[in-house]
Amino acid sequence: MAKYKTKGLDCWKRAKELRNRYYKDYKESPSRGGLRWEGGAWSFDAIPQALEGEVHGLSEEPYGASIAHNPELQVRYQEAAEGKWGCARDLCSYMRAYWGSVALNEYAYGGPWPHADFIFQNQICCCHSKWLQVADEIDGGTTPYFCFDVGVGPYDKIGDRQIEYVVAQLYDGIAFIERVTGRKIIEEKLIQNVYNTYRSNCYWAKTCELNQAIPAPLDEKTMFSLYVLGSLEKSNQAIADFYEKELYPEVKDRVANKIAAVADERCRVLGDSQPPWGFLRIYRYLEQYGIVSVANLYTFSLIGWMKVDEKGHLVPYPTLEEQGITIKDRDHALRLLVEGELKGKLMWAPFYGANYKNDLVTKIAKQWRCDAAIIHLNRGCEGTAQHQMQLKIALQEMGVPVMTFEGNMADEREFDEGRVLRLIELFVTETLGLKKVA
Amino acid sequence: MIEEFKQWYDDRHSYAKEWKKNNLDGKVVGYFCTYVPEEILYAANCLPVRIIGGHEPPTLATPHMFDMWCPFSRDCLSQGLAGNYDYLDGIMIAQCCLHARQAFGAWQLQVPTPWSYYVCMPNAVTTSHAKKFLLGELAEFKKAVEAWVGKKITDADLDRGIDIMNTNRHLMKKVYESRKEDNPPLTGTEAMTLVWASQLMDKREHNVLVEELLRDLPNRELDREPGIRLMIVGSENDDRPFMELVESIGATFVIDDHCTGSRYFWDEIATTGDRLQAIADRYCDRVPCPTKDFQQETWERKRFPHILTLAKEYRVQGVILVQQKFCDPHECDIPSLKRYLEGNEIPCYVLEFEVTVPVGQFRIRIEAFIEQLRADELFD
């Protein structure tokens, strides 16, 4: 008999609907007089989404991940990027998939490549500014391009000077968008988008916090399909509502009623970086041993905002309501937006040193009560694969058994499934001493 | 005389140790990227030494950086782990590519070094906001250095630091200028050896020798015809065997765009007004590393027209584009740069570098490229 009750999420269907609508809207937007823009999961989407009229963005990393989920498509797009454009095959695999899609003039959701009206990107990883520079070049080089810099330091070193630098760029960005589109940014929309951004990011972090419970209400494979909405359009009202009013209450209820993600949970593992998207079945394989992946800095804080409290614990970043803040005007909105991203997006901290990654992830391992760690040495994303070997050492030093395997989130040519499954089996049976659940 | 620069490059660790002996109040700071403001280090009587690899398989680094990180950065870390930089009083980095940052981060944890510092060099260098932001970073850095060395850095100290760096830049540009001649007085390997040495030794000493060299250059002749005039462009490159190989088969590198070459010294500081702001302006305005080469409004890069101008001024017949394996910033730019140069009728050839290069294979490939350029000459 299973140890815990389990069931699927009631809001699962809604999450899928929101995601599908996002890609459909992007494709169909021009037929309704809407604008389209390209950016990334970390773009300040609250700004372009505040333009008057209909407007839709295409977020580059989730689009790359969508391609990656289909091995046949990913290889075709990677080979187009390498063959038609001529790039190196060790570059970010999302980026190559994206470039291949542009080079082949194909949209993964059907039809030709949907040209954007402008680009509104950010730069923290070496590839971010380059990604859409090159995509635009492949696409003919006529799309107005704007890229702002958020590489101003880790969360604990953010002060007025850092915030001011980014805000100043956002003002330039607003002027740029208004000029190239001939449309205005509507202040009320901008303010609402900032409220929504806070709700999306903070409620996702609160949801992740609930996974400290035993049994874990969510497994990481499921979480991948949930955080993605925030990486598409965190400023969107429906997405913010989903996080605050549907997902969070449901997961809270699962904790209260001990509804588990994995009915036979008996070993909780920590992950790192993105998984090889075409091979998510490895999580199902782990479940045969009662193993559930419950935590990952990437999965939590790609969009989730968190902070380190006075006791040194990781806790969700407070919403504007919890902070007692009412947004007064455009300037106030921009400052709050930047402050939240710079102070709350802890995933940016490892960009400034291995010590940050070690500190945050060892905190996660303790607070989420992880018994072991399985680290995907992700050859496809240098941003999330930072300091992984140092992290391995730090986790081992705190007594957490660690297994690493090399792979690639979006290039199946760099993932040996059979070998990895054998490694996992050895780790699970020999190191962790687990047997398959009867 | 070139042999002396080569000697300094080869004996860089002995040189730095000797420098410490002779400068008891000074400190040696290892740095990971050429965006580090060396002016402030010189102002504080520190010797900035660029941390470079040993062109050895970076096996010691493997437990700390798995092999998707660029071989150069892993080689740098490996050198630290091997104890070859045990004389360093401090290490520092200015925000640059993630690869160098991995090596820096692992070094902080694994290689005992008394002091370390991360300058948050902005990425959006073409915006006016970046200069203001960097000014704040430099002010904080200056304070941190003062606290570390226990001495205030005065305006006069900063002037001295700026002067040391600017003099070196000015002199190196003069050396490079001589390579425009029909028969350049020095090879590309020799010219870059000068730059490599400048990153490893006290620039005051380097300046004296470069001045001497400049006096000798008008009478200097290579013992061979220059052959095909090549440019070399790309990631970090201090691969002397490769440079010598190419220059032994009928070609001469007459110009480069590397952070171990012209990009390091090309732009001087305008010494008017606020000193720290002048330094900030220089590092934002310099020929950018690809990781910072983006500008608002367009996908076009600032570095590309600069490279084209150099190619034209130095009458380049072909360009070799080199990238360290896994070097994302250059890998992103190379297909575009190749198209850009070829669109301007400058043939290009791309090579991927590791810490050691396959000399035999590269020789055959470069020979073929040179033959192709010679064939083009026949029809000019």
A27-50 residue pLDDT tens: 999 999 999 999 999 999 999 999
d(CA A67, CA A316): 31
Quick: pLDDT tens for B80-119: 999 999 999 999 999 999 999 999 999 999 999 999 999 9
User: What residues of chain A lie within 8 A of the CB of B323, using their CB?
Assistant: 88
pLDDT of residue B356: 84
Coil, helix or strand for B321? strand
d(CA B85, CA B82): 8
pLDDT of residue B298: 85
Which of A79-83, A370-374, B220-224 is predicted with the least confidence, judged by mean pLDDT? B220-224
CB spacing of A127 vs B328 below 8 angstroms: yes
User: What residues of chain A lie within 8 A of the CB of B123, using their CB?
Assistant: 123-124, 129, 149, 151
The answer on pLDDT for A242 being more than 70 is yes
Query: A82-89, long-range: CB within 8 Å, 24+ apart, which pairs?
Result: A85/A134, A85/A138, A85/B335, A86/B335, A86/B338, A87/A134, A87/B331, A87/B332, A87/B334, A87/B335, A88/B323, A88/B331, A88/B334, A88/B352, A89/A411
A145's tokens: 């391009």
The answer, for B53 touching chain A at a CB cutoff of 8 Å, is no
Q: Name residue A246's amino acid.
A: E
Give me Rg for the CA atoms of chain A. 21
pLDDT band at B380 (very low <50, low <70, confident <90, very high): low
- Beta-bridged to residue B348, according to DSSP, are B319
Rounded mean pLDDT of B11-35?
A: 97
Torsion B248-B253-B258-B264 (CA) sign: positive
Residues 350-389 of A with CB under 8 A from B: 351-355, 358, 377, 379, 382-383, 385-389
The answer on pLDDT for B239 being more than 90 is yes
Average pLDDT, chain B: 96
The answer on pLDDT for A265 being more than 90 is yes
DSSP B226-257: --EEEEEEES----HHHHHHHHTSSEEEEEEE
CB spacing of B64 vs A390 below 8 angstroms: yes
Residues 386-415 of A with CB under 8 A from B: 386-390, 393, 404, 406
pLDDT of residue B354: 87
Quick: pLDDT tens for A193-224: 999 999 999 999 999 999 999 999 999 999 99
| A214 Cβ contact partners less than 8 Å away, ≥ 6 residues apart | A265, A268, A369
pLDDT of residue A277: 94
CB spacing of A386 vs B290 below 8 angstroms: no
The answer on pLDDT for A90 being more than 70 is yes
The secondary structure element, H or E, covering residue B94 is strand B90-94
> Are the beta carbons of A274 and A301 closer than 8 angstroms?
no
- Beta-bridged to residue A351, according to DSSP, are none
> Are the beta carbons of A323 and A248 closer than 8 angstroms?
no
Residues 176-205 of A with CB under 8 A from B: 176
The answer on pLDDT for B62 being more than 90 is yes
Beta pairing, strands A306-308 & A314-316 = antiparallel
The answer on pLDDT for A51 being more than 70 is yes
Smallest CA–CA distance, residue A411 to chain B, in Å, is 14
Compare CB distances from B66 to A90, A147, A388 and report the shortest one's residue. A388
Coil, helix or strand for B105? helix
Compare CB distances from A147 to B105, B290, B294 and report the shortest one's residue. B294
The answer, for B347 touching chain A at a CB cutoff of 8 Å, is no
Average pLDDT, chain A: 97
Domain boundaries, chain A: 5-431
B192's tokens: 């870059």
Rounded mean pLDDT of A303-328?
A: 98
Rounded mean pLDDT of B215-228?
A: 94
As a whole-number percent, the residues of chain A with pLDDT over 70 amount to 100
The answer, for A152 touching chain B at a CB cutoff of 8 Å, is yes
Crossing angle for the helix pair A187-210 and A248-256, to the nearest 10 degrees: 20
Residues 53-82 of A with CB under 8 A from B: none
Quick: pLDDT tens for B156-175: 999 999 999 999 999 999 99
The answer, for B226 touching chain A at a CB cutoff of 8 Å, is no
Compare CB distances from B98 to A152, A355, A383 and report the shortest one's residue. A383
pLDDT of residue B272: 79
Which residue of A92, A160, A348, A382 to mutate against B (max B Cβ within 10 Å)?
A: A382
Rounded mean pLDDT of B280-294?
A: 96
Residues 323-342 of B with CB under 8 A from A: 323, 325-326, 328-329, 331-336, 338
Compare CB distances from A354 to B63, B109, B132 and report the shortest one's residue. B109
User: What residues of chain A lie within 8 A of the CB of B65, using their CB?
Assistant: 389
d(CA A214, CA B368): 65
Tokens 């401090």 correspond to what residue?
B90
User: What residues of chain A lie within 8 A of the CB of B333, using their CB?
Assistant: 130
Smallest CA–CA distance, residue A415 to chain B, in Å, is 14
d(CA A417, CA A434): 21
pLDDT of residue A438: 74
| Chain B residue with the nearest C-alpha to that of A154 | B120
Residues 59-118 of B with CB under 8 A from A: 63-66, 68-69, 95, 97-99, 101-102, 104-106, 108-110, 118
